[in-house]
């Protein structure tokens, strides 16, 4: 059996290496992927189309905004599915596990975290909002934000973190994030464009069509950030307690 | 309506968010939201079909974000590319979604108490993903949507019992391998063509003559194998029977009819529209190899189905066999085979829906889906069993159900390509299905146990109490979807010419052999 | 059988004849077990409606008008088309008239035996008859296939009516044979014709596309011929006959229906259709392998007659007799002459009338006495004179003596054989008639002329009136058929 | 493919990325197929996905190019440029322009990065879901070793058959009052727990 499992692995390996001989030169600017009109359009026209200096953000949130919407949906799905899988399942009784420590939260740790969390959260906002001009954006900001709550849960315990961020709120915020994203898309559709055609927002906001894209991208990123924050914390809360939402690790 | 194609997924997407948020305070609200958003989505789908039929080249391109083709190069934005085939399969998905959402009220409340909001959220997103797969014109967006459909699927299955969770894990591992291979294949395509737009890829393959390129060949293999895993083609089928038979009723009703079919649609799409007929059929070995794999697949799946004594498991293996039919129909490479394959995607979705809805009702009333629990069910619930057996007759392929017509085209296809082995295997599995369904009819109809002993006392005595055979149909909210589904099986069969003519319009763009003039 | 000057009119009557029983089913199920009389009234009503509609088309046909009804388009070139021509109408008349008789009879039989699930019985009986009419009026091969399958499935609950182990075995053989042949032998043949007959643009219509098979190569034609002959396994041609005795477990009205009217006759009717209207006499006569088919038909006739001799169970004996008689019909078709094919169509009608009488009698005996075996019938003739008299008449008709219907058809079959130049076939016919005498007459003779084994048996009376009347009527029908043979012959177009 | 040594050289030296990604991918694939421990399978899955991400990122490489963020001189808003003495509006002076094709070579291809951002997120979501499944399996069967799991599932199936209870135990429908009891129990539990916490406000 063990030997048998090498066969598909080897077949795949040979196949992939066989294809590698046909690849374009590594790092060559003339490779089809780098030379294609699509890639050149992104590099040459992002500024004109959207006024966003960070091409990755522009491509992520605008050119391929539809992808990113579903990417957010995937995150949301993961949160919902984990909730669905672990909610009300199995043992209801509080089982004390051998690695569970009943000690009070450590003074040094909690105080350090007390200082650290606001900094992390502000940094998260920065990363989210500054995604237009530097690496960053909704996902990164959202993860940082979620991490700040996870840090609270780690240094005190889950109960404390859940008081600050109740589990129902994760679902609501996660939903709202998608609602925000898709809502911006829907709004621009109502204003006469295609779905997610942010430039139509210029009809109701006093900005140029390009700047409408620029600002709508920020809105979209906030939506992404909301969802990711909520779901990251929800994932941690559920996974660390097998869905029982007790004291946690 | 101009944006109808976008409304197809807007309805379920917003519906699912509404379910998640509003469901926290009021669980009852999820069911109407789900039904309404499915109905809205179906309406948008029909609207889109009308739109597709009204334009000259029968395709509607919808560019998200307003990155229109006249002002920007193709592939900059994401395109929804609705041709006749895509919109037909979308309609199937949405129709199944609507019927199952109607059906779901009681089973969801009872099997997953307290989780209704989560269930409906995942349910609606599943339909969103599947409908998106049918319409998207972007190879990478397809990956994202496949994962949307897959993740919701994992959640929907594992929401049930512990067994379901264990089965889901295998599904997850295999599903991830499949999706990742597909993603890798897309990477290979991208490295050679520099675009992700399906139409763009096809244009570049034709323009630059990439048919002989080793990278493209391997890309084809990776994409193909990825999709085959996702559609539970025989050697990769291991996840399907466990997952579907252990899933909650509503989940299996939704997943079983559409998930594998949608992946077959993706294969057809890849073969015809993305890689192109010449590339797929003439410059790869697949036409030589795959029909023989299909033979093995159908035989094995049929034999395994024969060994089952539990309705849902048996049906799951039948799905694996049916997948073999459809894959075979594509790879025997001719016009009729493809018509058969596409039509079978549609009809198989209808009949599998019918069967699983029926199985759900049987489970509810008889408390078991084991064959032994079937005795006397016809007197107890005649309407349910009628619906169930219309589905069964369709799988066997008796006229005038739609299964007959799709099987007819598949057989014709085998004949035109002179793939006798494929035809023989079709006959073989047809006979297996006859055995399977009439064995069930026997169980229902006769007072004889499998070993042959008489259970009753002769003269129609089934050996059951009056209580057990008294007329006791399932609740209307479950029965009506089943009857509607069986009506659809008949109607699609009777009006098959309308569907086939649409498929013929779609296929007329491709240069497929018809095998005319052979004596 | 196409006559030169025909006018084709569109009319809904064929569809009514097909749909009426299906609508009747709703009434039957609605009335249910609690309102027996209402339920049986429904059955009787739809049977009468069907018969009236069918008979109303006879004058039209005799005046040279063919009624058609286009139901829906099945495939690109193939519609589901109902058409009433001579063959079909004759068969439909027989089926619908005998259904009325069977209805009356089954009321007597089922009530007499206090059978269970009578509602189901009547409902599926109606569906079967609907499918039979569908086959009779089909205008092309796919339409015929459509109704053929409908009949296979709808008779399954009738065959397994007893719901016991024996019924299971019988039902399994029944469906196994019928669905295997139709799905695995017939379907490829149909598909072949669909794709390649005349370049794939042919409706396989019985009127328009006769003889187009001639464009195939010789081998293909023979393969198709074999596939079609054995694909319609309802025709009971050897070696695919064994479902028929197996299906004997059904209640007698069903056996009567299976063996005299609906199922087996549908089988041979389909075969005759293929021979005469798809291949056509010209094509068949030039086909070398065709002689083999005559041989198979003859072999079926003789072997089944020999087996019938050895059967003691009355219904089984009649079943093997049926196989032999079906052989005649196939034989007529394989002869591929005008006379032969006409004879075989006539034989469908004549044999139906004779054989249903025999089955009715067998059922009546069972209801009255509970006896199933030939050896138990001694002296019964004196106690049940009407039944046994009818049995005698039926036997004579099946044997083929004038002035009974069976004679006419055998006469035309013999003529057909001579036309073809196959004199030896006439001898086969003679020998088999002799065998018929050997296995049928002793039954009646034992009943009338042998003393009962012991007189201690309880008093035996005639079966209920509802049983006796139909069998008397069908017995009289055997005479009538002889005397109205003229119009029948012109209906199947033999007078031209 | 190995008929001349150059290809191997090329693979190992010039296209090391492609080689490494294949090796990583195979390690991941092997772990997914052959490992019996469910968590190890998931680790394999992560490696597998990471390998693909590595491959995509390799596609985006362009020699002599910088990250796909506009340099100050191309920046439409000049937000990167060093603040000058002139007032704010001067940043908008040069405004957005379409880049010259020679300048396009100076930036890496942004598309693969975007795609991989998506793929990473999908991978995280899948992993989270899979871990939840593992926990559920562990709750139900007390093991995450595949063969032990299969054995336990089988024995349970046999047991349920002999008991002629066809519905798996955990699918049994709880009655309404049972549900209520459960609810009240969980409420009281949370009360007792939250009582020990310093800040019980806001907890429902």
Element (H, E) at C165: helix C165-181
Q: Which one of A9, A34, A53 has the shortest CB-CB distance to D75?
A: A53
Q: Is residue B366 part of a domain?
A: yes
Q: Which one of C117, C172, C195 has the shortest CB-CB distance to B415?
A: C195
CA dist C73 and C93 (Å) reads 27
Q: Is residue B436 part of a domain?
A: yes
Q: Is 50 exceeded by the pLDDT of residue B478?
A: yes
CB contact under 8 A, C156 and B438: yes
The pLDDT, as a whole number, for residue B92 is: 93
* D abuts C (3+ Cβ pairs < 8 Å): no
CB contact under 8 A, C168 and B446: yes
The pLDDT, as a whole number, for residue A81 is: 92
Q: Is residue C463 part of a domain?
A: yes
A40 touches chain D (CB under 8 A): yes
Confidence of residue D91 (pLDDT cuts 50, 70, 90): very low
CA dist C31 and C43 (Å) reads 11
Q: Is residue C28 part of a domain?
A: no
Q: Is residue C356 part of a domain?
A: yes
CA dist A131 and A89 (Å) reads 40
| Alpha-carbon distance B400 to nearest alpha carbon in chain C (angstroms) | 7
Kindly report the length of chain D.
Answer: 204
Q: Is 90 exceeded by the pLDDT of residue A227?
A: yes
D163 touches chain B (CB under 8 A): no
Asked which of B333-347, C164-178, C358-372, D4-18 is least confident by mean pLDDT, the reply is D4-18
Residue C71: φ, ψ to 5°: -85, -60
Q: Is residue C379 part of a domain?
A: yes
Encode pLDDT of A139-155 as tens digits: 999 999 999 999 998 88
The pLDDT, as a whole number, for residue C199 is: 66
Give the mean pLDDT of A206-228: 90
| Alpha-carbon distance C157 to nearest alpha carbon in chain B (angstroms) | 8
| Alpha-carbon distance A40 to nearest alpha carbon in chain D (angstroms) | 6
The pLDDT, as a whole number, for residue D190 is: 43
Q: Is 60 exceeded by the pLDDT of residue D198?
A: no
The pLDDT, as a whole number, for residue B400 is: 83
CB contact under 8 A, B151 and D119: no
Of residues B445 and C177, more confidence is placed in C177
Q: Is residue B3 part of a domain?
A: no
* C abuts A (3+ Cβ pairs < 8 Å): no
CB contact under 8 A, A39 and B21: no
CB contact under 8 A, B458 and C162: yes
Q: What is the total count of domains within chain C?
A: 1
| Alpha-carbon distance B347 to nearest alpha carbon in chain D (angstroms) | 31
The pLDDT, as a whole number, for residue D189 is: 43
The angle that helices B84-103 and B335-366 make with each other, rounded to 10 degrees, is 0
Secondary structure (DSSP) of B303-363: HHHHT--BHHHHHHHHHHHHHHHHHHHHHT-SHHHHHHHHHHHHHHHHHHHHHHHHHHHHH
The pLDDT, as a whole number, for residue B461 is: 63
Size of interface A-D (CB pairs under 8 A): 216
CA dist B486 and B482 (Å) reads 6
Encode pLDDT of A66-86 as tens digits: 999 999 999 999 999 998 888
Per the DSSP assignment, residues forming a β-bridge with B370 are B310
- Percent of chain B having pLDDT more than 90? 48
CB contact under 8 A, B132 and A70: yes
CB contact under 8 A, D76 and A71: no
Please count the other Cβ atoms lying within 10 Å of the Cβ belonging to residue D126. Answer: 26
| Alpha-carbon distance D164 to nearest alpha carbon in chain A (angstroms) | 23
Element (H, E) at C468: helix C465-483
Of residues B293 and C459, more confidence is placed in B293
Q: What is the total count of domains within chain B?
A: 1
Encode pLDDT of B351-384 as tens digits: 999 999 999 998 888 887 788 778 778 888 888 8
C180 touches chain B (CB under 8 A): yes
Q: Is 70 exceeded by the pLDDT of residue A249?
A: no
Q: Is 60 exceeded by the pLDDT of residue D87?
A: no
Encode pLDDT of B400-442 as tens digits: 889 999 998 999 888 888 888 999 999 999 999 999 888 888 8
The pLDDT, as a whole number, for residue B263 is: 93
Encode pLDDT of A13-53 as tens digits: 888 888 877 788 777 888 888 888 888 888 888 888 888 88
Residue numbers of chain C with a pLDDT score lower than 50: 1-3, 496
Which chains does chain C touch, 3 or more C-beta pairs < 8 A? B
The pLDDT, as a whole number, for residue C94 is: 87
Residues of B in contact with A182 (CB under 8 A): 10, 13-14, 17
Residues of A in contact with B132 (CB under 8 A): 70
CB contact under 8 A, B430 and C160: no
Q: Is residue C220 part of a domain?
A: no
Confidence of residue D171 (pLDDT cuts 50, 70, 90): very low
Q: Is 50 exceeded by the pLDDT of residue B269?
A: yes
Q: Is residue C454 part of a domain?
A: yes
* B abuts C (3+ Cβ pairs < 8 Å): yes
| Alpha-carbon distance B106 to nearest alpha carbon in chain D (angstroms) | 12
The answer to whether the beta carbons of residues A9 and D30 sit under 8 Å apart is yes
If you search the block for the tokens 């070579």, which residue do you land on? D105
- Which whole-number Å values give the CA distances from C156 to B438, C176, D135, D164, in the listed order? 10, 11, 51, 32
A230 touches chain D (CB under 8 A): no
CB contact under 8 A, A8 and D33: yes
Q: Which domain holds residue B308?
A: 285-519
User: Among residues D137, A8, A86, A72, which one has the least CA distance to residue B171?
Assistant: D137
CB contact under 8 A, B166 and D45: no
- Percent of chain A having pLDDT more than 70? 91
B75 touches chain A (CB under 8 A): yes
CA dist B30 and B43 (Å) reads 20
Of residues B34 and B280, more confidence is placed in B34
| Alpha-carbon distance A107 to nearest alpha carbon in chain D (angstroms) | 15
Q: Is residue C424 part of a domain?
A: yes
C340 burial class (0-12, 13-18, 19+ CB within 10 angstroms)? buried
For an interface test with B, give the residue of C177, C195, C231 to mutate (most B CBs within 10 A).
Answer: C195
Q: Which one of D19, D74, D117 has the shortest CB-CB distance to A60?
A: D117
CA dist B422 and B414 (Å) reads 6
Q: Is residue C4 part of a domain?
A: no
Residues of C in contact with B400 (CB under 8 A): 146
- CB within 8 Å of chain B, chain C residues 58-77: 72-76
CA dist C301 and C322 (Å) reads 9
Query: Rounded to 5, what percent of chain C is helix, strand, coil?
Result: 75, 5, 20
All domains of chain D in start order, with CATH: 1-61+109-163 (1.10.287.3510)
Please count the other Cβ atoms lying within 10 Å of the Cβ belonging to residue A89. Answer: 23
The answer to whether the beta carbons of residues C126 and C22 sit under 8 Å apart is yes
CA triplet B100, B324, B310: central angle to 5 degrees?
55
């Amino acid at each position: 059996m063990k030997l048998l499992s090498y066969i598909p692995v080897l077949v795949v390996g040979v196949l992939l290496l066989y294809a590698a001989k046909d690849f374009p030169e590594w790092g060559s600017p003339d490779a089809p992927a780098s030379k294609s009109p699509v890639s050149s359009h992104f590099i040459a026209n992002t500024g004109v189309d959207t006024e966003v200096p960070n091409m990755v953000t522009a491509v992520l949130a605008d050119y391929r905004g539809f992808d990113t919407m579903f990417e957010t949906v995937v995150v949301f799905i993961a949160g919902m599915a984990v909730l669905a899988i672990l909610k009300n399942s199995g043992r209801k009784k509080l089982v004390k596990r051998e690695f569970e420590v009943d000690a009070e939260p450590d003074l040094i740790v909690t105080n350090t975290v007390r200082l650290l969390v606001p900094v992390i959260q502000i940094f998260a906002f920065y990363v989210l909002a500054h995604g237009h001009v530097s690496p960053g954006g909704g996902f990164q900001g959202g993860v940082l934000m979620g991490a700040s709550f996870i840090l609270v849960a780690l240094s005190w315990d889950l109960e404390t973190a859940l008081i600050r961020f109740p589990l129902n709120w994760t679902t609501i915020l996660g939903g709202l994030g998608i609602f925000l994203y898709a809502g911006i898309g829907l709004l621009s559709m109502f204003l006469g464009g295609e779905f997610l055609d942010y430039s139509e927002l210029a009809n109701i906001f006093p900005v140029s069509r390009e700047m409408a894209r620029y600002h709508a991208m920020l809105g979209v990123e906030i939506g992404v950030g909301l969802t990711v924050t909520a779901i990251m914390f929800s994932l941690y809360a559920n996974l660390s307690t097998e869905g029982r939402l007790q004291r946690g690790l | 309506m101009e944006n109808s194609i976008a409304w197809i997924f807007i309805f379920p997407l917003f519906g699912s968010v509404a379910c998640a948020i509003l469901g926290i305070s009021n669980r009852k609200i999820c069911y109407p939201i789900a039904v309404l958003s499915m109905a809205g989505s179906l309406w948008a789908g029909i609207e889109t079909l009308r739109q597709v039929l009204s334009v000259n080249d029968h395709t509607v391109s919808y560019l998200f974000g307003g990155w229109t083709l006249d002002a920007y190069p193709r592939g900059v934005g994401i395109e929804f590319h609705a041709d006749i085939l895509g919109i037909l399969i979308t309609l199937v998905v949405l129709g199944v979604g609507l019927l199952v959402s109607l059906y779901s009220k009681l089973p969801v409340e009872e099997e997953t108490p307290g989780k209704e909001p989560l269930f409906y959220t995942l349910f609606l997103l599943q339909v969103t993903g599947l409908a998106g797969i049918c319409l998207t014109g972007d190879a990478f967006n397809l990956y994202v949507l496949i994962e949307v459909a897959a993740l919701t699927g994992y959640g929907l299955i594992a929401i049930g019992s512990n067994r379901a969770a264990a089965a889901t894990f295998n599904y997850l591992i295999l599903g991830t391998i499949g999706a990742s291979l597909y993603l890798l294949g897309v990477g290979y395509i991208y490295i050679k063509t520099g675009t992700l737009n399906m139409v763009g890829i096809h244009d570049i393959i034709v323009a630059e003559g990439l048919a002989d390129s080793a990278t493209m060949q391997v890309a084809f293999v990776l994409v193909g194998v990825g999709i085959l895993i996702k559609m539970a083609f025989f050697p990769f089928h291991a996840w399907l029977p466990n997952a579907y038979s252990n899933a909650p009723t509503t989940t299996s009703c939704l997943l079983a009819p559409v998930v594998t079919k949608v992946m077959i649609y993706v294969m057809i799409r890849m073969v015809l529209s993305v890689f192109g007929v010449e590339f797929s059929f003439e410059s790869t070995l697949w036409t030589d190899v795959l029909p023989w794999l299909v033979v093995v697949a159908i035989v094995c799946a049929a034999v395994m189905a024969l060994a089952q004594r539990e309705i849902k498991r048996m049906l799951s293996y039948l799905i694996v066999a049916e997948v073999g039919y459809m894959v075979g129909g594509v790879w025997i490479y001719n016009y009729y085979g493809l018509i058969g394959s596409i039509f079978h995607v549609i009809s198989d979705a209808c009949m599998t829906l019918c069967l699983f809805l029926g199985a759900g009702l049987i489970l509810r009333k008889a408390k078991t889906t084991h064959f032994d629990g079937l005795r006397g069910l016809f007197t107890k619930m005649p309407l349910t069993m009628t619906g169930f057996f219309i589905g069964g007759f369709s799988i066997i392929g008796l006229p005038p159900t739609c299964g007959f017509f799709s099987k007819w085209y598949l057989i014709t296809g085998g004949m035109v390509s002179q793939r006798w082995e494929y035809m023989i295997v079709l006959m073989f599995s047809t006979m297996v299905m006859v055995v399977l369904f009439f064995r069930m009819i026997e169980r229902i109809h006769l007072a004889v146990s499998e070993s042959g002993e008489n259970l009753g006392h002769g003269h129609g005595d089934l050996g059951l109490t009056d209580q057990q055979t008294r007329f006791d149909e399932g609740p209307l909210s479950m029965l009506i979807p089943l009857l509607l589904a069986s009506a659809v099986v008949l109607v699609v069969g009777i009006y098959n010419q309308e569907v086939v003519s649409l498929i013929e319009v779609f296929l007329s763009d491709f240069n497929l052999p018809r095998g005319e003039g052979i004596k | 059988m196409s006559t030169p000057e025909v006018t084709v009119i569109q009319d809904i009557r064929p569809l009514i004849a097909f749909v009426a029983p299906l609508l009747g089913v709703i009434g039957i199920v609605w009335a249910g077990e609690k309102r027996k009389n209402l339920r049986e009234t429904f059955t009787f009503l739809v049977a009468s409606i069907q018969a009236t509609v069918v008979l109303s088309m006879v004058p039209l046909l005799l005046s040279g008008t063919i009624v058609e009804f286009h139901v829906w388009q099945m495939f690109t070139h193939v519609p589901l088309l109902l058409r009433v021509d001579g063959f079909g109408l004759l068969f439909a008349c027989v089926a619908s008239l005998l259904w009325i008789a069977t209805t009356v009879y089954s009321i007597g039989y089922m009530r007499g035996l206090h059978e269970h699930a009578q509602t189901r019985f009547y409902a599926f009986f109606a569906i079967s008859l609907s499918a039979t009419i569908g086959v009779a009026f089909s205008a092309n091969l796919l339409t015929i296939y459509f109704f053929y399958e409908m009949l296979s499935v709808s008779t399954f609950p009738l065959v397994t009516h007893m719901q016991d182990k024996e019924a299971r075995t019988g039902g399994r053989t029944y469906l196994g044979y019928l669905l295997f042949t139709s799905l695995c032998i017939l379907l490829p043949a149909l598909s072949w014709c669909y794709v390649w007959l005349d370049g794939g643009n042919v409706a396989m219509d019985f009127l328009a596309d006769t003889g187009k098979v001639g464009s195939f190569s010789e081998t293909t034609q023979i393969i198709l011929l074999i596939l079609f002959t054995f694909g319609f396994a309802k025709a009971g041609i050897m070696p695919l006959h064994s479902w028929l005795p197996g299906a004997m477990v059904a209640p007698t009205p069903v056996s009567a229906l299976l063996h005299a009217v609906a199922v087996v006759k549908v089988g041979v009717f389909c075969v005759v259709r293929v021979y005469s209207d798809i291949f056509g006499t010209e094509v068949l006569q030039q086909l070398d392998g065709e002689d083999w088919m005559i041989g198979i038909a003859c072999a079926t006739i003789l072997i089944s007659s020999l087996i019938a001799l050895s059967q003691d169970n009355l219904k089984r004996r009649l079943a093997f007799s049926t196989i032999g008689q079906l052989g005649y019909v196939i034989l007529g078709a394989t002869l591929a002459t005008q006379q032969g094919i006409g004879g075989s169509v006539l034989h469908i009608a004549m044999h139906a009338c004779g054989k249903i009488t025999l089955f009715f009698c067998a059922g009546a005996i069972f209801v009255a006495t509970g006896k199933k075996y030939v050896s138990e019938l001694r002296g019964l003739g004196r106690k049940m004179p009407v039944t046994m008299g009818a049995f005698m008449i039926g036997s004579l008709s099946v044997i083929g003596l004038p002035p009974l219907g069976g004679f006419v058809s055998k006469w035309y079959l013999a003529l057909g054989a001579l036309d073809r130049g196959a004199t030896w076939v006439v001898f086969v016919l003679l020998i088999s008639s002799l065998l018929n005498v050997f296995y049928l007459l002793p039954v009646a003779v034992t009943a009338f002329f042998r003393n009962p084994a012991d007189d201690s048996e309880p008093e035996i009376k005639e079966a209920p009136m509802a049983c006796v009347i139909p069998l008397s009527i069908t017995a009289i029908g055997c005479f009538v058929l002889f005397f109205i043979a003229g119009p029948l012959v012109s209906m199947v177009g033999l007078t031209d | 493919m190995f008929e001349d040594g150059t290809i191997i050289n090329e693979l190992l030296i010039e296209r090391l990325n492609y080689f490494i990604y294949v090796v990583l991918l195979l390690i991941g694939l092997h772990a997914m197929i052959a490992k019996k421990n469910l968590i190890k399978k998931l680790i394999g899955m992560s490696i597998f996905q990471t390998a693909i991400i590595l491959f995509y990122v390799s596609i985006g490489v362009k020699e002599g190019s910088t990250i796909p963020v506009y340099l100050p001189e191309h920046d439409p808003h000049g937000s990167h440029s060093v603040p000058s003495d002139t007032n704010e509006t001067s940043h908008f002076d040069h405004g957005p322009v379409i880049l010259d094709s020679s300048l396009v070579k100076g930036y890496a291809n942004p598309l693969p990065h975007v795609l991989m951002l998506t793929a990473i997120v999908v991978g995280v979501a899948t992993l989270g879901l899979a871990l939840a499944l593992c926990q559920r399996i562990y709750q139900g069967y007390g093991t995450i070793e595949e063969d032990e799991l299969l054995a336990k599932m089988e024995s349970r199936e046999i047991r349920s058959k002999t008991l002629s209870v066809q519905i798996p135990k955990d699918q049994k429908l709880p009655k309404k009052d049972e549900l209520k009891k459960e609810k009240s129990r969980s409420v009281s539990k949370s009360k007792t727990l939250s009582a020990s916490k310093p800040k019980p406000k806001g907890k429902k």
